[in-house]
């Protein structure tokens, strides 16, 4: 594999097999049903401090974090739907620990959709063990016909976002590849931040602290999440 191809892959030019227009079509269809034919749609956001809503530690601003922003946006998009977004994230946790409680904390809720977000805290861990943990969570969910959306990491001000050797870039690449291999959803938060910075947005303006996004940063993630919940009449999330 050439160095140019490695750089291209690391910067986000790997498309997931699952399509945002169709992957959650059954879930979206349920969101369009009116009472008395509707039922609660359960979304679980699993991961570390970012989905938990940590801002400038120890301050927590869960109202500004993407799980809550997603809940509010879905209420607007599907006004007849009963939607619950549950956060099972724990600050400081990595995917290896998160996998150990996945069955109890996530699967026992019988969600329709699960998001997984551990990339920031997986740096410094054995890459094989990390990949195995992510893959285990994906396959446990798929075995119960639960849809999965993998999240690449949000930005860290200490990371070199254009360096293919940076640990955060490498974690993002692993997550992209796994999403394609397992045919599940992908929200490329890392690429959203990289493009914002490349377009002239100061990274600091998107961050509450060095490794936690502020509301503006979470809104970048939300925009990509909403692509997976398209308006059924148009097939587009816009």
pLDDT at 84: 98
Instruction: Determine, yes or no, domain membership for 232.
Output: no
CA pair distance 185, 225, nearest whole angstrom? 10
Q: Could you tell me which residues come within 8 angstroms of residue 93 by beta carbon, excluding any fewer than 6 positions away?
A: 47, 48, 118, 121
Q: Is 93 helix (H, G, I), strand (E, B) or coil?
A: coil
pLDDT at 231: 86
Q: Is 59 helix (H, G, I), strand (E, B) or coil?
A: coil
Residues spanned by the domain of 187 = 17-226
Q: What is the mean pLDDT of each run of 10 residues along the chain (238 residues)?
A: 45 65 96 94 99 97 99 97 98 98 98 99 97 99 99 98 97 98 98 98 98 99 98 55
CA pair distance 20, 225, nearest whole angstrom? 9
pLDDT at 238: 34
- By DSSP bridging, strand 207-209 and strand 212-213 are antiparallel
Its pTM stands at 0.90
CA distances from 184 to 33, 137, 175 (A): 25, 12, 11
Instruction: Determine, yes or no, domain membership for 9.
Output: no
User: Contact at 8 Å (CB) between 46 and 117?
Assistant: yes
Instruction: Determine, yes or no, domain membership for 5.
Output: no
pLDDT at 104: 98
pLDDT at 53: 98
Instruction: Determine, yes or no, domain membership for 202.
Output: yes
β strands within the chain, DSSP E: 40-47, 82-87, 113-117, 147-151, 185-187, 207-209, 212-213
Instruction: Determine, yes or no, domain membership for 126.
Output: yes
Instruction: Determine, yes or no, domain membership for 233.
Output: no
- Tally of structural domains, the chain: 1
CATH assignment at residue 95 = 3.40.50.1110
Residue with tokens 């996945």: 102
């Amino acid at each position: 594999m050439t160095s140019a191809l490695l750089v291209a892959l690391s910067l986000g030019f790997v498309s997931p097999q699952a399509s945002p227009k169709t992957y959650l079509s059954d879930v979206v269809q349920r969101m369009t049903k009116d009472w008395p034919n509707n039922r609660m749609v359960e979304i679980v956001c699993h991961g570390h401090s970012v989905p938990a809503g940590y801002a400038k530690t120890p301050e927590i601003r869960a109202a500004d974090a993407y799980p809550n922003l997603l809940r509010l946006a879905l209420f607007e998009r599907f006004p007849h739907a009963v939607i619950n977004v549950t956060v099972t994230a724990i600050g400081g946790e990595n995917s290896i620990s998160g996998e150990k409680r996945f069955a109890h904390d996530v699967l026992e809720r019988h969600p329709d959709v699960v998001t997984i977000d551990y990339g920031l805290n997986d740096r410094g861990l054995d890459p094989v063990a990390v990949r195995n943990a992510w893959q285990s969570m994906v396959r446990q969910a798929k075995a119960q016909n639960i849809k999965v959306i993998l999240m690449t990491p949000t930005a860290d001000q200490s990371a070199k976002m254009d360096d293919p050797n940076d640990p955060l870039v490498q974690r993002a690449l692993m997550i992209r590849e796994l999403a394609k291999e397992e045919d599940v959803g992908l929200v490329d938060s890392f690429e959203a931040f990289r493009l914002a910075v490349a377009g002239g947005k100061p990274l600091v303006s998107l961050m509450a602290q060095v490794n936690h996004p502020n509301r503006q940063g979470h809104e970048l993630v939300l925009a990509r999440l909403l692509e997976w919940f398209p308006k059924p009449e148009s097939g587009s999330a816009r």
